[in-house]
Copies of this chain bind each other. A is one copy, B any other.
């Protein structure tokens, strides 16, 4: 039986992971009167700077996990690669939302794509690969270019090898897997018209609210820009929103699910990836929606009514990656720009240090 009890303001939200997604969730939780207690292995994390309590420990530290579970009223996460063993410890003591079942699917590309395909929803064509021979067979079937990806623990382009026209499958496999066994997938390189995403919130009572479809532009495998709304037909946007709702429902998500998709040149919508947490492509909701994705996550996991998800205006969000954060003095002086910085001390290439949203901009 599901626990439908409301977790009221004044309660403590447990947050797994200490990055900017946790930070912005903690800020939204505070507005509603919640305390946040973060569990992270990073000292002085972006999230801990705005939390009532922080546990700095490894996700294998069962004692720390047990104490954390005892100190909070519900657990959510900003990082989907929390080790399953940690989730088992937590789930024995406290509500974890979204639950271990959702995370088991979304942390593994093979399970994730299989799950989506079983719903009758198209993904990028893909094959499972556990050896160089599998890679050779997959590229023969799918064509080239293709991408070899580790099934688990990849993000922002990490754990990926491009299989170009001249690539040697064996070399690619060695590059990804080294001498170890590894679960991987080969994905066809889709010649898409654009990348889009939809974020859906769902409460413990099954009520659901989706944000509008947005368009994403990546650079070096990292999200660079989100354009709101996506510059696609209303029919395609509706199709994308329907797909995201279906998957959220089928996975029985309590919390948020972000669904990344491709729109192909021939007008199909293919699911690329799922993320059961706030998503970079939803940062614009902080400034252009009555309820941001972060507040919505708090509402969903605490069993509060979900808030409105309409956009007040068009918007463009850009990430500030690495030394792009140096643009802050110009951005903070710009009346139409809303600047968000994450409190990270160290500027490294590829590191997300902040973002900016322009309201009323269309590209």
Q: With an 8 A cutoff between CB atoms, is A115 at the interface?
A: no
Q: With an 8 A cutoff between CB atoms, is A350 at the interface?
A: no
The answer to whether A49 touches B30 (Cβ under 8 A) is: yes
Q: With an 8 A cutoff between CB atoms, is A349 at the interface?
A: no
- Residues of B near A299 (CB, < 8 A) are 332
The answer to whether B52 touches A339 (Cβ under 8 A) is: no
Interface residues of A in 19-35 (CB under 8 A from B): 23, 26-27, 30-35
The answer to whether A31 touches B27 (Cβ under 8 A) is: yes
How far is A49 from B31 in the complex, measured between Cα atoms in Å? 11
Whether A305 contacts B290 in the complex (CB less than 8 A), given A35-B49, A49-B52, comes out as no
How far is A30 from B31 in the complex, measured between Cα atoms in Å? 13
The answer to whether A290 touches B30 (Cβ under 8 A) is: no
Interface residues of A in 87-113 (CB under 8 A from B): none
How far is A347 from B231 in the complex, measured between Cα atoms in Å? 49
Q: With an 8 A cutoff between CB atoms, is A338 at the interface?
A: yes
| A335-357 Cβ-contact flags toward B at 8 Å (1 or 0) | 11011111101000000001000
Known: A33-B354, A304-B332. 10 other contacts (CB 8 A): A6-B329, A26-B50, A31-B339, A33-B328, A33-B340, A34-B343, A35-B343, A48-B52, A299-B332, A308-B335
A-B contact pairs, 30 of them (CB 8 A): A6-B329, A8-B328, A9-B328, A10-B341, A10-B343, A23-B30, A26-B50, A27-B27, A27-B30, A27-B31, A30-B49, A30-B343, A31-B339, A32-B339, A32-B340, A32-B341, A33-B328, A33-B343, A33-B354, A35-B343, A49-B51, A49-B52, A50-B51, A52-B343, A290-B336, A290-B338, A290-B359, A299-B332, A304-B332, A305-B333
